[in-house]
C-alpha cells in the first residue's frame, strides 16, 4: 500500500531533520520540482480567471489577529507571540487578515468588483507533536489561498465560479474527491456568536450548491470560527478523510476591518469576502498525489520528465547535447550515464520517468533519439526536433 512518508523519502521528494523540528519538512530537488509544477499550473489557472497575485508577510502584529478575531477564537492553534522592539508579533495562522488590509488600503468602486486576490503563502499552526505526520499534517503550511471581495448579490455566483476552478484543478491533477461537505457552526466560544450572520452566509453557500446540483453532506462544528464553508474531502489509501479544497463565505471580517466600496448610488456598502483555496496546501496535496500515483506521476508533474541514456561512453557527447536541448525546450531532464550500469539496468532504474531517450551509435550519427514512453510504449528513432516537440506537447498542463 502506498504511504507518502515512505515513498516521499524513496523518491527523494522531502525529508525532515530533528534540528529543524517536527512538522517542518524540507523539499528536496525532486519534490521542489514537482511543487513548482503545481504552483505554475495553479497560478496560470488563476490568472486566466481574473485573479491578481499578491505577496504578504508571514507574520503580523498581535493586534492584527485581535482585530480579525483569530486571537479570541483561534489562539490555541497559533504559535505564541514574540516580542521585538516592544511590539508583539505572531506567525500568521491565516492569510485573510493581510488580504483584508490590502483591500482596505485603497478606495474601491462597485465597477472594480469583484476583486480577486490570490497568493501562495506560508502560514503556521501550533500543532501538537502527536498529530504530525509526513506532509499531511505539518506546522509550516504553503497554502494556495485567495480572497474575492464582491457585492452581496454576487457572492453566490463567485462561490460557483470558485467551485468551477476547484473542479478544473482536480480534474487536471487526477484528484477524485470522496464528497462535498457543508461545514457549519458548532457550539461554544470557538465560533463568532452572530446567528443572523451565520444564516446569511449559509444561505449563499446553499444557493451555490443548489445551482450546480451538487450533492453534499452537512456537518456542524466543522465551520471556520467566522463562517461556514464548503469543504471538498479526499481520502488516503486507508480511507481516512481530510479536507483538500475549500470555499468560505465571510460576513464577519469585512465588518471588523471596516471594508467598503462605493456603489452605483454613491454610498458606501460592505463587501462580502469569499475565501477559497483551489488545491489546498501544497503539503497535503503532494502527500495525496504521491499515494495516488505511487511515484508514476503524469508527465507534467513528474520531477524528472525525460532521462537521456547513452548506450556507451562513445555516445556521451551526443547525449550531452540532447540533454541541453531538452532543458532548453523546458523539460526537466537528466542523464543516466553508462558508468551507472547496463542500459537495461538504467532503464529499469528510471522506469517512473515518463520519457526515456536512448542514444546509440546510429542515433548519435544521425541526430536522432529512440524514445521510450512510460505510458505509450517504445517508438522508433526519430529526429531530435520531432522527439522534443512530441514530449513537450505531453509534458505541459493544458487549460
189, pLDDT greater than 80: no
pTM of the predicted protein model: 0.93
* 188, 269 contact by CB (below 8 A): no
**Which pLDDT score, from 0 to 100, does residue 364 have?**
95
pLDDT digits (tens, 9 = 90+) for 207-229: 999 998 889 999 999 999 999 99
- Last residue of some domain: 293, 314, 338? 293
pLDDT band at 362 (very low <50, low <70, confident <90, very high): very high
- Tell me 365's DSSP state: H
Shared domain for 114 and 90, answered yes or no, is: yes
pLDDT band at 187 (very low <50, low <70, confident <90, very high): confident
Shared domain for 100 and 204, answered yes or no, is: yes
342, pLDDT greater than 90: yes
**Which pLDDT score, from 0 to 100, does residue 237 have?**
79
Q: With respect to residue 298, please indicate whether it lies within any of the assigned structural domains.
A: no
**Which pLDDT score, from 0 to 100, does residue 128 have?**
81
Rounded Cα distance between 287 and 138, Å, is 11
- Report the mean per-residue pLDDT for the chain: 94
Phi/psi for 57 (5° steps) reads -65, 155
Q: With respect to residue 116, please indicate whether it lies within any of the assigned structural domains.
A: yes
| Buried b / exposed e along 308-343 (16+ C-beta atoms within 10 A) | bbbbeeebbebbeebbebbeebebbbebbebeeeeb
Shared domain for 211 and 310, answered yes or no, is: no
131, pLDDT greater than 80: no
- Last residue of some domain: 293, 328, 345? 293
- Last residue of some domain: 235, 270, 293? 293
Interior angle at CA 80, CA 121 and CA 66, nearest 5: 75
Average pLDDT over residues 17-40: 95
Average pLDDT over residues 108-123: 97
Shared domain for 330 and 252, answered yes or no, is: no
| Buried b / exposed e along 349-367 (16+ C-beta atoms within 10 A) | ebebbbbbbbbbeebbeee
pLDDT band at 138 (very low <50, low <70, confident <90, very high): very high
Nearest in space to 357 (alpha carbons), one of 394, 382, 340 = 382
169, pLDDT greater than 80: yes
Q: With respect to residue 311, please indicate whether it lies within any of the assigned structural domains.
A: yes
**Which pLDDT score, from 0 to 100, does residue 136 have?**
86
Lowest mean pLDDT among 31-35, 98-102, 125-129, 164-168: 125-129
Average pLDDT over residues 359-383: 93
399, pLDDT greater than 80: no
* 237, 288 contact by CB (below 8 A): no
243, pLDDT greater than 80: yes
Shared domain for 252 and 349, answered yes or no, is: no
**Which pLDDT score, from 0 to 100, does residue 127 have?**
83
Q: With respect to residue 300, please indicate whether it lies within any of the assigned structural domains.
A: no
Rounded Cα distance between 291 and 86, Å, is 47
In the chain, the percentage of residues whose pLDDT exceeds 70 is 99
188, pLDDT greater than 90: no
Lowest mean pLDDT among 72-81, 89-98, 113-122, 331-340: 72-81
Rounded Cα distance between 348 and 11, Å, is 15
Q: With respect to residue 270, please indicate whether it lies within any of the assigned structural domains.
A: yes
Average pLDDT over residues 349-354: 96
* 93, 74 contact by CB (below 8 A): yes
pLDDT digits (tens, 9 = 90+) for 277-320: 999 999 999 999 999 999 999 999 999 999 999 999 999 999 99
CB neighbours of 338 closer than 8 A, spacing ≥ 6? 310, 311, 312, 313, 316
Shared domain for 244 and 328, answered yes or no, is: no
Shared domain for 184 and 316, answered yes or no, is: no
- Total domains, the chain: 2
Q: Residue 95 has which C-alpha cell? A: 492569510
pLDDT band at 368 (very low <50, low <70, confident <90, very high): very high
Shared domain for 249 and 316, answered yes or no, is: no
List C-alpha distances in Å: 182 to 14, 160, 324: 33, 14, 50
Shared domain for 264 and 363, answered yes or no, is: no
Q: With respect to residue 108, please indicate whether it lies within any of the assigned structural domains.
A: yes
- What is the extent of the structural domain holding 274? 4-293
CATH number at residue 361: 3.40.50.800
Q: Is the peptide bond before 186 cis (omega within 30 degrees of 0)?
A: no
130, pLDDT greater than 90: no
Shared domain for 243 and 313, answered yes or no, is: no
Shared domain for 155 and 75, answered yes or no, is: yes
Amino acid at each position: 500500500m502506498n504511504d507518502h512518508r515512505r515513498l516521499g523519502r524513496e523518491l527523494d521528494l522531502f525529508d525532515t531533520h530533528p534540528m529543524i523540528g517536527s512538522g517542518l519538512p524540507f523539499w528536496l530537488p525532486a519534490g521542489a520540482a514537482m511543487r513548482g509544477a503545481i504552483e505554475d499550473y495553479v497560478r496560470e489557472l488563476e490568472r486566466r480567471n481574473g485573479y491578481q497575485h499578491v505577496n504578504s508577510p508571514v507574520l503580523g502584529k498581535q493586534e492584527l489577529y485581535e482585530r480579525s478575531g483569530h486571537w479570541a477564537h483561534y489562539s490555541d492553534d497559533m504559535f505564541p507571540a514574540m516580542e521585538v522592539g516592544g511590539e508583539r508579533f505572531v506567525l500568521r495562522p491565516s492569510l485573510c487578515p493581510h488580504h483584508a488590509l490590502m483591500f482596505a488600503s485603497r478606495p474601491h468602486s462597485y465597477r472594480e468588483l469583484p476583486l480577486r486576490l490570490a497568493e501562495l503563502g506560508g502560514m503556521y499552526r501550533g500543532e501538537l507533536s502527536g498529530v504530525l505526520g509526513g506532509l499531511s499534517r505539518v506546522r509550516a503550511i504553503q497554502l494556495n489561498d485567495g480572497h474575492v471581495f464582491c457585492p452581496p448579490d454576487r457572492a453566490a455566483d463567485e462561490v460557483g465560479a470558485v467551485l468551477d476552478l476547484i473542479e478544473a484543478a482536480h480534474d487536471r491533477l487526477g484528484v477524485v474527491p470522496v464528497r462535498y461537505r457543508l461545514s457549519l457552526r458548532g457550539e461554544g466560544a470557538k465560533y463568532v456568536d452572530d446567528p443572523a450572520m451565520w444564516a446569511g452566509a449559509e444561505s449563499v453557500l446553499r444557493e451555490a450548491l443548489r445551482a450546480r446540483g451538487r450533492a453534499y453532506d452537512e456537518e456542524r462544528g466543522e465551520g471556520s470560527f467566522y463562517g461556514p464553508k464548503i469543504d471538498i474531502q479526499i481520502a488516503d489509501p486507508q480511507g481516512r478523510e481530510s479536507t483538500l479544497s475549500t470555499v468560505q463565505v465571510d460576513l464577519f471580517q469585512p465588518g471588523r476591518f471596516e471594508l467598503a466600496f462605493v456603489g452605483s448610488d454613491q454610498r458606501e456598502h460592505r463587501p462580502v469576502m469569499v475565501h477559497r483555496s483551489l488545491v489546498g496546501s501544497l503539503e497535503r496535496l503532494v502527500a495525496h498525489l504521491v499515494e495516488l500515483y505511487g511515484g508514476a506521476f503524469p508527465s507534467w508533474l513528474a520531477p524528472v520528465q525525460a532521462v537521456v541514456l547513452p548506450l556507451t561512453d562513445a555516445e556521451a557527447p551526443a547525449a550531452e547535447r540532447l540533454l541541453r536541448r531538452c532543458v532548453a525546450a523546458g523539460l526537466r531532464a537528466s542523464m543516466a550515464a553508462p558508468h551507472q550500469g547496463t542500459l537495461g539496468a538504467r532503464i529499469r532504474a528510471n522506469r517512473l520517468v515518463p520519457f526515456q531517450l536512448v542514444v546509440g551509435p546510429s542515433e548519435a550519427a544521425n541526430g536522432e533519439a529512440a524514445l521510450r514512453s512510460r505510458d505509450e510504449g517504445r517508438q522508433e528513432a526519430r529526429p531530435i526536433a520531432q522527439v522534443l516537440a512530441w514530449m513537450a506537447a505531453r509534458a505541459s498542463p493544458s487549460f
